[in-house]
Structure 1
Amino acid sequence: MKLRKSLVVASLFASLAVSAAWSQNGGLVQTGSDIPAKWQKPEADYDYVKREVMIPMRDGVKLHTIIVVPKGADHLPMLLERTPYDANFFTEKDSPHLRDIVWAANREWVDDGYIFVYQDIRGKYGSEGDYVMTRPPMGPMNPTKTDDTTDAWDTVDWLVKNVSESNQRVGMIGSSYDGWTVTMALLGPHPAVKVAAPESPMIDGWMGDDWFHYGAFRQVNLDYFTEQTSKTGKGDSGPRWSADDYQNFLDAGSAGNWAIENGFQQLSFWNRLSTHPAYDAFWQGQALDKITVAHPSTVPTMWLQGLWDQEDMYGAIHTWEALKAKGMIANNHLVMGPWYHSQVNGAAENLGPLKWKGDTAADFRRNVLIPFFDTYLKDRKPAEPTPQVLIYNPAENHWDKFSDWPGATEQHLTPLYLQSNNGLAFRAASAGEDSYVSDPAKPVPFIEVPLQFSTHPRWATWLVQDQRFVSTRTDVISYQTPILTEPVRVEGAPFADIFAKTTGTDGDFIVKIIDVYPPTVAEQPEMGGYQLPVSMDIFRGRYRKSFAEPSAIPAGEVQEYKFRLPTMNYVFKPGHRIMVQVQSTLFPLYDRNPQSYVPNIFFAQPQDYQKATVSIEHGSSGASAVLLPVVPASTAIQ
């Protein structure tokens, strides 16, 4: 209270001095600038101190860093997030209260007592240096002496020496690209890094994270390329000629043509990506799951992702599985929640029409994630040991704890065979085939049109979109079981195993595993008959033999297309049906396959796009199926 009175008195004397000067010139003339030499915002009553510093790296480049310390802090751990998305974003609000200025994901951390550190990575926003998209580790693809491993090391080293209120312990966290920076830090962590949580980390951009899925390019990223690499700050997205991105991208033709029309020749990352459409050394050399296994850390790490993550559903689980396969599981945990991309950092009472028991994200942060960090940063044991694996069961609406989780193995998988007359059964099918015409001029939309990539609520929840909107299209084939009389429980990663022939010389295959709800649902009428996708992905046919060396599909010959689908922890309940849908386009999210073989689909010409008749085989000509990890009873820890 005395401090506040002193400030008021000082302010009063300053006002009187200004009034006297004003009176001397009659109040008519103002000399000097209306902007003071240094504006000092009164912050005596703030419950935190905010510092902005430039932390030097080993090569002299300085990185813009914001440090937020609770007032009166002593011996608190530091929570570090390194980002290309503007460190100022995390504390952009102006309030005397720390809990009000941090973003939603950090409020529970404020309650627990943490120092927050947010840093712009090299070359973005307030940081010096050159920006390189997901800069590869030092080596053949990065001849410099720095990378995001060394930058994280140098940052942590500076923090433990210069933040006197800390206990010299650091935990690292971040989602998406920020999850990638956490993973990079783990390749050579500073000794002060005691715990980490890569959330939906971008691990392998070709196999199944942001840029491609099994070779099919995700056109939603074209806007990201200009936003991220055209300016040090945030650039603009591409211009739109109509309100419907389905039509915009159809009119553009190929992804490469869209890029050329919008000046992408100026963007180095686009030029690199578009000249490497196959999984060659360019992509293999920066696949972080493989690099992480080659440089394992002992830092306790929680690998996190959403079961319906529409951007990075590949990285976390594949890295965890790779570490497990090498016997490095003791300090690595896996969590998969009922979330879209990065929803773990917000509110998660629901996902589209799916309603959960409480806020699954806030409850997880409070009850699992923060206690996990506190274990290593505060020497505080959690109320319950952190499970090795924690995965939400959406059908039964609860978390399941596991001591282990099956990896990417085809052993113990149960074939669910595609049958004639659009049937689906666990018994072998009789010989036959079903055909559809895939027309690149009329591709199947990934959500109902009109659509815009920039409409976040639709983009974030598209993976739970009711599939009835395409089920009557003639270029989508749906197979379904009879009404289930017993539950079918699946735990693990399913595989699509499709035998097909096409009149084209290239083509894509999209396979969806769907839970078909009963015709009426008394508790939630809008879910009556709902076709809920539980696991789906796309596979580019030219890579059926080799991801690195594509080859034309022999027209009219049956070929096998086998690929892994996203992980499931799910129960198909009695009264429901299991459905499998097969189609060849998912537009404009994925670029159109011309269906005639060309060296680089990015630059396919209008005449290359051809209709093709695709025939799905079953029975003796090819036992098309989805291979499900069916278990007779839950393996979860009770």
Structure 2
Amino acid sequence: MKKSSALLALLLTASMPAHAQQAGKADGIFQDMPEKFVLKDQDFDFVRKDIMIPMRDGVKLHTVVLIPKNAHNAAILLTRTPYNADHMTSLAESGTMTSVLQGYDNMPDVIADGGYIRVIQDVRGKYGSEGRYVMNHPMRGPLNSTKVDHSTDTWDTIEWLIHNIPESNGKVGIIGVSYDGYTALTTLIHPHPALKVSVPMNPMVDGWMGDDWFHNGAFREEMLPYIYNQDATPKNTLKWWSRDYDNYQLFLNGVSAGSIARAHGMEQIGFFRQILAHPAYDDWWQSQALDRILPKEGLTVPTLLVHSLWDQEDNYGAIALYYALQKVPASQPDLWLAMGPWNHGGEIKEASTLGPVKLRSDTGLYFRKKILEPFLAHYLKDSSIPLPARVTAFRTGTNEWESMPALSPQDCTTECTVLQLATHHGLTLNPTTKDAETVQYVSDPEHPVPYVQRPVISKNLPGSEWQWWLASDQRNAASRPDVASFTSQTLTKAVSITGQPLVHLTASSTGTDGDFVIKLIDVYPDEVPDQPEMGGYQLMISADILRGRYRNSFAHPEAIPANTPQTYRMRLPIVHHTFLPGHKIMIQIQSSWFPLYDRNPQTYVDSIFNATPDAYKPATISIDTAGSWLQVHQTSPSPL
């Protein structure tokens, strides 16, 4: 019996794989986990490969390649990311391409259903890739004296892919949201010949003018946790910490953004040191802004820019770049634009609502099936597939898709709507006369206006309003004494607008610095029969902030002369909206938007990052209604 048992055990052991035979006793206990688990993926509908692709300087970048089984003559869709390629391609239970491509930047109804070879790569210095990470890595030039940048890394990656993936047809497209949209744009600088199409969605373009870090000089304080998490360690192993559940209280107690950052050790992070060193729009920012770089290079690859009209993170870049490229005749044949009623990256998901607003259709699905899918297929598969219109835009209010040959010009010269501030907190449309009145409010840095109702919860925590804060109800702000509201009469006919509203504000302050937030709002009727909870809702259509010290020059700040009327001009983010009959139009003006943006001391100091508590002083703001208005293109909707 003993001999028979021993023989049976020997036979069983011999039939086991080598890695299973190694699982035995170690250090007196049975070894439970193999040194390396070998995945049985023969039933999957794709093949996964993890590859370290060498760059021209010897650094190797971790790249995940997903190849559909039976793929032949298939195009490659590439994304380059700092957000963990392994996590973005983590295997799901069903073992299908569709189930794997569910995460960030992935659209299974376009990529998997389209039979594309999916490639996702960690940018240098992040997660599985070698090298050193640099936030928004500058292109080779004044800020980068090396021989490599995102452009060269993409070139080298494409060169490797087309020679080492025999299932491909040699055509590559690049696609990505946010930072990955930024890397999709950098690919257009000296592009590889095999790059046939680029789709930058909600891309970071200019971090000072209006994307992640600043807006017209006001620092986006709520981005400190992102910088900390992303730039402190290669794999985001250190996480931003806070003892305060309410970010409003956290940043109020911390006084200045610089003080809060130093309390978290962020002076060790090179990118944050650059922010401290460059609070104004100097050469450091200007020389890396892609809406300045790409027009000089010229667009030679078909590019579909994708913009979200309610993008809470990067609502500047795609439109700024579109207008910059439109001015270059040679670039126009390769330029397309799609914009819809989405938040940041909302176009890659189900999108039948805009915050609480019902849109009556899945606008994300429409974008992917009617715009993105044929655009990719035309250049990567079959050129006989019709292309979408040069500009496809969703008009909120009427909730219809429209097409046009180009966006309206930035500056409105004909068919303009003027929204003029009026007496008694009124707002008049295209007035023939202007009534003068001074409207005042006191802006107190100790009680700044919150950008959402408190508590202000960090974007990664349950209950956060971050995703849809741009579509949140503005009635709480309207009820505050430090917010000036100007409202039209109830509309008797529809008012349709498009383009970037131009603000002309005349105001004085008792302080020597200050911010101005301008919000264009659609006020719903008191009763909305098919959606009662929307009765009286105040929906922001467009809004932005201007730091007063930059009213004359973004590069050269100067104090505001106290008690002296000044002119403040700025463009708001693009709109494509119809105010319906029964609604009202409102403009709100305030001097803080906290803690989204850091508090302005309202006393001029060299650097607000280093402002001391005694610098923060209340100021009385006086608005001249006759000298204040908003101008925007008026349109006649042409639905698809």
Smaller-chain TM-score bracket: over 0.9
AA aligned to 1:46 is: F
Q: Deviation at 1:81?
A: 0.1
Is 1:602 the counterpart of 2:601? The answer is: no
- Stretch deviating more after TM superposition (594-603 or 232-241): 232-241
Map 1:374-453 → 2, pairs under 5 A: 374-382=377-385, 384-412=386-414, 413-426=416-429, 427=431, 428-453=433-458
Shift of the alpha carbon at 1:16? 6.6
Cα distance per residue 1:187-215 (max 9 Å; x no partner): 11100010110001100000000000000
How far apart are residue 41 of structure 1 and its match? 2.1
- Which of the residues 35, 51, 54 maps onto 1:53? 51
1:380/1:435 Cα in 2 relative to 1: closer, same or farther (>3 Å)?
A: same
Structure 2 residue 539 is matched with structure 1 residue 543:
no
Contact preservation (8 Å) 1:188, 1:297: no
Whether the 8 Å CA contact 1:189–1:297 is kept in 2: the answer is no
- The residue that corresponds to 2:270 in the other structure is 268
Q: Which residue of 1 aligns with 2:226?
A: 224
- Would the aligned equivalents of 2:201 and 2:305 in 1 still touch at CA under 8 Å? yes
Alignment of 1:278-297 (within 5 A): 278-297=280-299
Q: Does 1:554 align with 2:561?
A: yes
Which residue, 198, 201, 207 being the options, matches 1:205?
207
Q: Which residues of 2 match residues 12-23 of structure 1 at below 5 A?
A: 17=15
Q: Secondary structure at the match of 2:107?
A: helix
Cα contact 1:497–1:561 (8 A) shared by 2: yes
Paired position in structure 2 for 1:194: 196
Mapping 1:282-431, distance limit 5 Å = 282-327=284-329, 328-382=331-385, 384-412=386-414, 413-426=416-429, 427=431, 428-431=433-436
Q: Quick one: distance in 2 between partners of 1:246 and 1:264?
A: 20
Aligned pair in 2 of structure 1 residues 39, 14: CA closer, same or farther (>3 Å)? Answer: farther
Alpha-carbon separation, structure 2, partners of 1:28 and 1:378: 55
More displaced 10-residue stretch of structure 1: 39-48 or 370-379: 39-48
Q: How big is the shift at 1:33?
A: 5.6
Tell me what 2:513 maps to: 506
| Among candidates 34, 41, 44, match of residue 43 of structure 1 | 41
Offset of residue 358 of structure 1: 2.6
Please identify, of 327-336 and 502-511, the stretch whose mean Cα deviation from structure 2 is larger: 327-336
User: Using the alignment, how far apart are the partners of 2:571 and 2:413 within structure 1?
Assistant: 13
| Separation in structure 2 between the aligned mates of residue 30 and residue 13 of structure 1, nearest angstrom | 24
| 1:511 aligned partner, one-letter code | I
Give the structure 1 partner of residue 7 of structure 2: none
Matched ranges for 1:151-166 at <5 A: 151-166=153-168
Query: Do the aligned partners of residues 247 and 33 (structure 1) sit closer, same or farther apart at CA in structure 2, a change above 3 Å counting?
Result: closer
Correspondence for 1:581: 588
Residues 1:627 and 2:600 are matched in the alignment:
no
Match of 1:244 in 2: 246
Deviation, structure 1 residue 399? 1.0
Shift in Å, 1:363 = 2.6
Structure 1 distance, partners of 2:69, 2:485, is: 60
- Counterparts of 1:137 and 1:246, CA distance in 2: 36
Contact 2:352 2:363 in 1 (8 A): yes
> What TM-score comes out, normalization by structure 1 length?
0.94
Which residue identity is paired with 2:265?
G
* Aligned 8 A contact 2:400 2:639 in 1: no
Q: Deviations over 1:346-386 (max 9, x none)?
A: 2212121111233211231122101100101001533x531
Distance 2:89 2:108 in 1: 12
Give 1:130-149 correspondences, 5 Å limit.
130-149=132-151
Aligned to 1:185: 187
Q: Distance in 2 between matches of 1:98 and 1:431?
A: 64
1:345 Cα offset (Å): 1.8
Q: Distance in 2 between matches of 1:476 and 1:615?
A: 12
Alignment correspondent of 2:503: 496
Partner of 1:7 in structure 2? none
Query: In structure 2, what is the Cα distance between the partners aligned to 1:208 and 1:499?
Result: 22
Tell me how far apart the structure 2 counterparts of residues 144 and 252 of structure 1 sit (CA, whole Å). 38
| Per-residue Cα deviation, 1:50-83 (whole angstroms, up to 9, x for no partner) | 0000000000000000000011111100000000
- Cα distance in 2, alignment partners of residues 339 and 441 from structure 1: 34
Task: Tell me the residue number matched to 1:215.
Answer: 217
Deviation at 1:93, TM superposition (A): 2.7
Shift of 1:409: 1.2
Query: Match for residue 593 of structure 1?
Result: 600
Cα distance change of structure 1 residues 47 and 429 upon mapping to structure 2, 3 Å threshold: same
Could you say if the C-alpha distance between residues 168 and 528 of structure 1 is closer, same or farther in structure 2, counting changes exceeding 3 Å?
same
Q: Which runs of 5+ in 1 are unaligned?
A: 1-11
Distance 1:617 1:166 in 2: 64
Is this contact kept in 1: 2:221–2:257, CA < 8 A?
yes
Cα distance in 2 for residues equivalent to 1:29 and 1:315: 58
Letter in 2 for 1:417: Q
| Whole-angstrom CA distance in 1 between matches of 2:552 and 2:316 | 21
Name the SS for the 2:71 alignment partner.
Answer: coil
Q: Alignment length, in residue pairs?
A: 617
Matching residue of 1:569: 576
C-alpha displacement at 1:411, in angstroms?
A: 2.1
Instruction: State the identity %.
Output: 44
- Cα RMSD (Å) of the superposition? 2.1
Structure 1 runs of 4+ aligned residues shifted over 3 Å read 12-19, 27-39
In the alignment, is the contact (CA less than 8 A) between 2:401 and 2:639 conserved in 1? no
CA contact (8 A) 1:371 1:381 kept: no
In the alignment, which of 171, 174, 177 is matched to residue 173 of structure 2? Answer: 171
TM-superposed CA distance for 1:14, in Å, is: 5.3
* Preserved CA contact (<8 Å) 1:357 1:398: no
CA–CA distance in structure 2, aligned partners of residues 308 and 202 of structure 1: 15
- Per the TM alignment, residue 255 of structure 1 is displaced from its structure 2 partner at its CA by 0.3
Aligned equivalents of 1:35, 1:483: Cα separation in 2:
70
SS in 1 for 2:465: helix
What's the secondary structure of 2:99's corresponding residue? helix
Deviation at 1:394, TM superposition (A): 1.2
Name the amino acid aligned to 2:97.
Answer: L
State the 1:531 CA deviation.
Answer: 0.6
| Structure 1 CA distance for aligned equivalents of residues 27 and 503 of structure 2 | 81
